[in-house]
Every structure is written in C-alpha cells, then in structure tokens.
Amino acid sequence: MIVRPSEIESLRNAILGTNSVKIELGRLWRLWNDAAPRFTGDPDQAAALHHALQKLSDSAVLEFPKQAWDRSTVPALPRHVIVPAARRAANGRAWMTFPWRRQLGWVSSLPTLPPALFDDLTVLNDWFGRVVVEDLPVVPVRYRSGEIFAREKRLDELERTTLFGPGRLNLAMLACRRLAPPVPAAVVGTGPDVLVVENSDTYWVAVEQLRGSAEHGIGAVVWGSGKTFPAQVPSLAVDVAGQGPLRGIAWYWGDYDPIGTATAVAAARAADGIEVRPARGLWAEMARVPVQEAGTLDWSAAVGEEWLGPEVWAQLSYVRAAGGRVAQELVPVEAVAAWVASLSASARG
C-alpha cells in the first residue's frame, strides 16, 4: 500500500476547507474517498486513511483524540479529529460567523463561548445536517449522546450548562428523553402500596417480615439507596418489581438525621402523581432507641417536620437537641415485625 503525497495534500486541503474544528469519522471517510478514490472498496482503505491522518497529525494539521477510537477496523481510526487552524480562524469568536443550522442559530449571538462547548456545538451541527429529527425514534438520552458525541454522558454534562434552556437546546429537539433510574424492589404481597426503605440491611428485614405476613396492603419493598431515591421516584410510575406502575402510596422510612429527612422531603416533591408519605409507625419506633453520634450533626437548617408530622417530630426532639442521629438499623427486627403485624390487623379490620 502506497499513499501518494498528492492524496494526502488533497485530504489536507479538504479538511481545512471544512472550517470545522471537529470532524467526525464518517465525514473523514467522505473527504478521503474524494481525495483518494482509488482506495474506495480496497482492503487497505482503512490503513491508507490511517496513514494519511497520521501524516497530517505529524505536521500539526490535525489532532487525534486521546480515547475516542473506532477499533472495528485494523488499524483503529479516530472517531473524530480536531483542526486547530479552524479554532483560531475567527480570533476566538468563530461561533459568531459559523454557518449554524436553524436549530442552532442562536449560538451566533452568544457573547462568549468556551472552546470545548464550541467544539461540541459543531459536532451537533453536523448531526443536525445528517438527520431529520422528526423521523427519528425517541431514545434514552445516553443513547443519543453516544450517537452524536461517541460519549454517552456528554449530553448529561451539556444539560447542566447554559446551552440548554428556553430558546436554546432541549432533549425533545434531539429526539431523546431522560428516564429515571430504576429502583431495586421485591414483591411481598398483592397490595397497591410500597414500602421504601433507605438502607440495604433494613430493606431485607422488611422484605422478610412482610413476606411472612398477609393482608398488609404492601405489594413491594423498594430499596431507596440513600440520597439517590428522589431521582428514582419517577420510575415508580413506570414499573415496580415487574408488577407495573405504582397503584397506591409509597411509604418512606429512612435514617433520622438531616440528610435522611432532606431526602424524604425531596422524594415527596420529586414527581407529580406519586405520593411519598412517611411510614410513621417505623419513624416513631426510632424514638425508642438511644442517640447515635451525639454532638456531630447540625439540625438548625433541617427540614422534614411538616412531612413527618408534628407528633413524631416532637417524639424525636431529643435526637435533634443532642446533635445526633438514629439509623434504621438501631430499630430492632422485632419492632419492624410488630409494625407489619399492625398493618395486617388494620387490614382485617
């Protein structure tokens, strides 16, 4: 395989002629096929392109990515290249004169734009040119991010910037949506409600006790996984333990400390149509055990009194006064069993 200098020079001119800071592999293939059509369909076509790109990299025409390589070919090829000359072309304000597609026309009016975000937007601009968004199936956000950027979490990062917002980018215009993280759950009955338990050991205790009882109204026990549960709440409207959407109330029980009550309040506000209420009987059991870690926690800005209710909040005042906490695991298994028995008794009338 011999790549002619004239073919490398043609590729160089084509790359610089795009005025693009970031050029994806698919576009590189098109430019290479135009620059060296004799390699089209040749078994050595990937090796020839790799050789030409390496020569251009050696002469500082382009830069290779550190990790984004397509290893489906031999040799591997970069999923994109960076063209430094295109970044310098407009004295640091290239986005103001860049030929944006209609979806990104607002970018030219931005007063500032960091180089990394400009690179991302040029990639997105190329993507808008290749697809008809209205014809695309709506997919989870990380699938679309992987397709556009070859980085499944890049849209997560960009969504936290000012590029997303009214009149700018949104997930709908990218034909994708954000799905709530799933919650681990175990079926314990046929009732419409669920019991959400913050900690893993307590989760298994609740599962065992509820499976050993009947007529308690709890269909599943959900592991809240600490502070992650507010983000998971919307998934209850999709499915719980393979039984379909939540049909009743999500009764929540967590650690009694400032983070635990803040998590409960955030969960209660997380999704319209999902009721997250306190499993008060279990919270009340925490008032029967000694304070942990006294003097280590600041309760002055704590939330949760309105959600938990003034009666149980008052019962636990000694914990707040001591600057301590009570973990779920300090509530004896027998107390959890008694709470389950009280549910069954209530269900039987």
pLDDT by residue (tens digit) across 303-343?
Answer: 999 999 999 999 999 999 999 999 999 999 999 988 888 87
pLDDT the model gives residue 344: 61
Contact 28, 54 (CB under 8 A): no
pLDDT by residue (tens digit) across 49-101?
Answer: 999 999 999 998 999 988 889 998 889 999 999 998 876 654 567 888 889 99
- Six token digits for residue 180: 């709530």
User: How many Cα atoms are found within 13 Å in the side-chain-facing hemisphere of 184?
Assistant: 12
pLDDT the model gives residue 181: 83
Listed residue (329, 335, 229) closest to 282, CA to CA: 335
pLDDT the model gives residue 349: 36
Tell me how far apart the alpha carbons of residues 158 and 154 are, in angstroms, rounded to a whole number.
6
Whole-model pTM over 0.85: no
344 or 219: which leads in pLDDT: 219
348 pLDDT tier (thresholds 50, 70, 90): very low
pLDDT the model gives residue 198: 95
1 pLDDT tier (thresholds 50, 70, 90): low
Residues 22-31, mean pLDDT to the nearest whole number? 92
- Six token digits for residue 325: 């906490």
Lowest mean pLDDT among 45-49, 77-81, 110-114, 159-163: 110-114
Instruction: Provide, rounded to the nearest whole percent, the portion of the chain with pLDDT above 70.
Output: 96
Report CA torsion sign: 339, 343, 348, 349: positive
Strands 193-197 and 218-223: parallel
Residues 122-135, mean pLDDT to the nearest whole number? 92
**Residue type (1 letter), 210:** L
241: left (phi over 0), alpha (psi -120 to 50) or beta: left
